[in-house]
Amino acid sequence: MTVEFRGLRRVFGRTVALDGLDLTVGQGELMALLGPSGCGKTTALRCVAGFERPDAGAVFVDGKDVTRVPANRRDTGMVFQSYSLFPNLNARDNVAFGLRVRKVPAARRHARAAELLELVGLPDHGDRYPHELSGGQQQRVALARALAPEPRVLLLDEPLSALDAKVRLTLREEIRRLQLDLGITTVFVTHDQEEALSVADRVAVLRGGRLEQCGPPAEIYDRPATPFVAEFVGTMNHLPGRVTGDRVTVLGRSLPVDGPLPGSPDVDVLIRPEAVLLTPDPGGEATVVTSSFRGASARLRIRLGDLEVLGDVPGHDAVRLTPGTRVAVDLVRRPVLVAARTVPAGAA
C-alpha cells in the first residue's frame, strides 16, 4: 500500500497545522515524519487515520482517495505515545479488541491475539492488565493490538517517547524488524532526529506544516537541502567563511563546495563536529574549553581565535584533552552546507 498526502491543509482557528503537505510513502516503506513541536506531524498522521478531516487536499491510500472515508473503514492501525490500552481489559483482550469490533468469532480472535502477543515477545502476558505491565510491555501490547486486524498501514505517533532510554532502543529495533518482516507501509512520527535516522527508510522533515526535505537518512544528514534541516538534524558548527570561485575558505583552509553558493561572498559554513579533526599538539592553534565524554568518542569545545568550535575525538583520547590543552585543528570533510550569512558565527 502506498500513502499519499496531496496538498494537505488543516487550520485550527488561527493556527495553520498543515500548509499544503505533499508526500508519498512507498509500498512497505517506513517513513519517519520529523520536525519540531507544532510542525504538523501528528495532524498529518491523524489525517491518514481519519481522525482529522483536512480543510483542503487529500489523502490517498493505495491510489484511492480516502479523505472522506470514516476512520473505522480505513484499515489503519495506530499506536499512540502512551496510556492508550483499555485499563479494564487484559493484554489478550486489548489485542483482540479490534477483531471483536469486526465480529471475528471468539476462537479465531483468541488464536490471533496469542499469535500477536508471541510476535511482540509477550507470549505469557495475556492475562496481565495494563497496570501489571511495564511501559515498554504496554507499548508492545499496543503494537500487537494495532497489528491484529492486519491493517494496510501502520501509524506510529511518538510510540517510544514515554519510555526510558534503554527500552526505547530495544523497542525501536523490534518495531523496525517487525515492520520489515510484515512488509507493512508505516508512518512513524517523532521529534527525535536520532530515532528518525536510525529507524526509517526515508525521513520527511516538516516545518510549519510543509515538507522541507524528504530523503534517505544519510542524505538528510550529509546533504541537508536547507539550513533548517542541517540545524535540526544533528549538531552543526556555524563558521564564517568566504567564497572564491567554487571554493570556500574557512578556519584558514580552502575547501571545495558541491552545492549551490549564495550570492554574497561572505557566508556561513555549516560543518559537523565529526568533520573537525583535533589532535593534541603543544604548538596547536586552538585550546580545549570543555570536553564531554560519550564512550566511543568525546565531543570537545575548542577556542580558536574569536571562535568556539565543536569537534570530536576518539573516546580514549579524551583523558589527555583536558580544558586548557592545546590542539591542532584540521577539517576532514567538505562543509555540509554553505549558506548566506544569517546568524552570528560560532559553535552551535
Instruction: Catalog residues that contact ligand ATP under the rule CB under 6 A.
Output: 12, 15, 17, 35, 37-43, 191
C-alpha dihedral (231, 238, 285, 295), degrees to nearest 10? -10
Calpha distance 204→189 (Å, rounded): 10
Q: Considering the complex, what minimum distance in angstroms separates the CB of residue 15 from ligand ATP?
A: 5
CB of 345 to ligand ATP, least distance (A): 30
* Min dist. Cβ of residue 97 to ligand ATP (A): 25
Question: Please, which residue, 53 or 333, has the CB nearer to ligand ATP?
Answer: 53
Q: Write down the least CB distance from residue 273 to ligand ATP, Å.
A: 26
Our CB check for ligand ATP shows the closer of 39 and 300 to be: 39
Q: Least distance (Å) from ligand ATP to the CB of residue 274?
A: 27
Shortest Cβ 13–ligand ATP spacing (Å): 6
CA dihedral 167, 173, 176, 182 (to 10 degrees): -90
CA 45/CA 136 separation, integer angstroms: 22
User: CB of 40: closest distance to ligand ATP in angstroms?
Assistant: 4
Determine how β-strand 237-244 pairs with β-strand 297-304. Answer: unpaired
At 150 the three-state DSSP class reads coil
Q: Minimum Å distance from CB 53 to ligand ATP? A: 11
Closest CA to 17 of 32, 31, 35: 35
The residue behind cell 526515508 is 202
Is 74 in a helix, a strand, or coil? coil
Alpha helices in 148-212 (DSSP H): 165-182, 193-199
- Residue 208 CB neighbour total at 10 angstroms: 15
Sequential DSSP letters for 307-341: EEEEEEEEGGGGGG--TT-EEEEEE-S--SEEEE-
Strands 76-79 and 337-340: unpaired
**239, 271 Cβ separation under 8 angstroms:** yes
Nearer to ligand ATP, 17 or 133 (CB): 17
Yes or no: say if 54 and 8 are a contact pair by the CB < 8 Å rule: yes
Q: Which is nearer to ligand ATP, 149 or 209 (CB)?
A: 209
Smallest distance from ligand ATP to CB 189, Å: 6
Nearest to ligand ATP of 39, 144 (CB atom)? 39
CB-CB contact of 322 with 300 (8 Å):
no
